[in-house]
Structure 1
Amino acid sequence: MKPDYGGIDFGTSNSTAAVFGQGGPRLVALEDEHIAMPSAVFFNFEDDRTYFGRQAIEEYTSNTEGRLLRALKSILGTSLIREKTRLKGHSIAFSDIVGGFIAYLKERIEADLDAGLDKLVLGRPVRFVDDDDEADARAQAELEKAAQSRGCRHVEFQFEPIAAALDYEQRVEREELAFIVDIGGGTSDFSIVRVSPEGRVASDRKNDILANAGVHIGGTDFDRLLSIATVMPEFGLSTPTKDAKRNLPVAYFYDLATWQRIHFLYTSKAMSDLRQIRYEAARPELVERMIEVIAHRQGHALAAKVEQAKIALTDRAETDIILDMLDDRLMLSISAADLSRAITNSVQRIADTALKTLRDAEVTAERINTVFLTGGSTAVPQVRSGILGLFPHAEVIEGDMFGSVGLGLAIDAHRKFA
């Protein structure tokens, strides 16, 4: 019989899917030869079709009329999941948009298996929502419902860092105490796991998992903070009203800097409010830039430029953000020091969560043999140094930045469903 199970890593920024075959776990091609795809959905108003991943972004950047949505995972467990967004002549619930994206990934697995996908292991962060167990449980239930509504009758969950540990364990030659670091687009997750060659074939691993901890901070938060610190002031953030009695209200600036909230700016109310803000501003020409970006629905393009700058600063001291969607074509020079200042508090919270993992496991940093890194945001220098500085004597292992969790989920699916 052909296997009818697989694993899906539905990420804030990128997603993967994997299956378990005779040679072990392998990632499924999602877009041509690409095994990781952006977690993006584009509703094309011109041909009334829905596009996913890179194609969604290409449709958006080609100035096709429509609606782009990214960072959908971030709305799980929040009130936004129950809201609807307007698409041309109708409205669609965000829960259905999440379900549509899961359905696309499911179809790619089924095409690879040449069989239906009935059983699924979904990755989940240690915390969907910080400090709110009820909202956290609700987020998992929402994701489970999305998968079941698309035909997966049996849905299980696994912590993403545990999945990464299962992937890493496939290559170990001796028993190790591993500190698993998974920092992606939306969350920073940690696990301390005892891995070994014997563990690869063991069915019960409860005693090998010493601790899990996580915090809802990731790459999209770094994008937001960098945008607020360097780009939004050029749009009027922190500038005064013309009567100098107060600064301009901040809500719309923060929305424009936040991936999952950008689409809320594309309304007549938001535009009316921004025109009023421009009227009250001491520097109305700055707010006019913001109005221009929103009027042409270039909010996601702006966020993408900030994201690209963040990525560029992982290995260089300075880069430029060129706002060529503006009539006055603004170029901003952004330094690694700018990024570091913008994310300092978030990096400290991530490091604090790593230390909490050690405390929960009741082990010292010196006992950790290996630090295993996965997730795109582990490439951010401040984040990387903040974590690795806690373990000066441990061996550092680089996992597949985007694929380790997906591979581990396929291993887990094989254990649970084979």
Structure 2
Amino acid sequence: MKRRKLFLYSVAVALSGCGGDTATATTDARSQGAAVKSAGIAAKPVTVALAGNAFITSADADATEVITDQGLADWTSPNTVISTYFRVAAAGPVTVALDARLAGGSNSTVRVTIDGKPFDVKLSITGARSYPVGTVNVAAPGYVKVDLRGISKDGGYFGDVSALKVSANAALNYANDPANYYWSRRGPSVHMGYSVPANTEYFYNEVTVPAGQDKIGSYYMANGFGEGYMGIQVKSDSERWVLFSVWDADNGGKTTLVSKGPDVVDNVFGGEGTGGQSYLRYNWVAGNTYRFVTRVHPDGAGGSDYSAWFYAPEQGAWRYIATWKRPFITTYLTRAHSFLENFIDSNGYMERRVSFGNQWARNVSGAWSELTTGRFTGDATASNGQRLDYAGGMENGKFYLRNGGFFANNVPTNQNFTRPASGKVPDVDVSALPH
């Protein structure tokens, strides 16, 4: 089973604990405990591999540098900045060394900046070794950033760097599972689950991405359900999507397209599971609020139909995305949830944030119910303590999710939050939605 389907099943498990009370912000023993266990108190230096913890955070368009399974390679440009992150549990001294080697020259000098303090380190052609860098006093618990930048070289390369050696008097947290470095670099995915009444046919949600939080590689998933999801993505500098996907049946039955709206692209997808995908290229704007409606209902022939609509405030109209038919299932809408994720691993150092407001469910009889409780959960990267830069909860009357950016104050997962009821039934006539 692929990662995405595992994610959806983890959401289902998480939603089973969604209740009506607001939980206190107690420590998440699974994620915090895993973090301490993975590194322990650093009496000896620990190895923070660049393969799972580093990013190229600044580079020219023609830069050659890459982060591989072995770490930093092809380091040629003095304009490239390579940033590595680890987390300390308490303030105090932190000592760093480089595990590096030099090839294609005799000497090079690189600048290593630890938590803002620069050190110049000379590498030589004596083979792979650990090069001492220096010690800084970290002022508070949280992530420490170590930047590498080339200063001078007498050959073609500044060197290959496989890891940092880090010593501290506090617990260290970093990605230490080589089999999942790709997911660690993508960063933790976080979700907010909503408990809907039985026989829910329609789910309504409103989504706002704050200005400056619309990073490339972001998926702000608004309307998730037991068999798929719908939301908005940033695909590139010039392309954004409204995406609606439905998974194939577990027994291999294929999801098929019933109909789609104007300009909507449909295809099948694979890689992280299989199913039917539909998307509308639409340049949505950070700071604006977008509205989403999904419908799930049995088709009377042993399957169920899944439909989705998106309200574009710039056009003042609802846009029909598509209807998909999934075989071998008779269901209304279940496991309502939203999530926030990054799908480009090289952009995993960037912070993302989104808010969700005014959630409602409409049953088969046409009665609307406001959903005011959300359950905040995380994926394996979060629960296994590989990354701790995640948060979620309620603020300004809305639920919010946050991840990436290596911020210090995370919010423990597996707790419930309650927003104030708006009493504002969605201003949408579902019978008049376009098809």
TM-score normalised to structure 2 length: 0.23
Task: Answer 1 or 2: which has greater helix percent.
Answer: 1
Tell me which structure has the larger Cα radius of gyration. Answer: 2
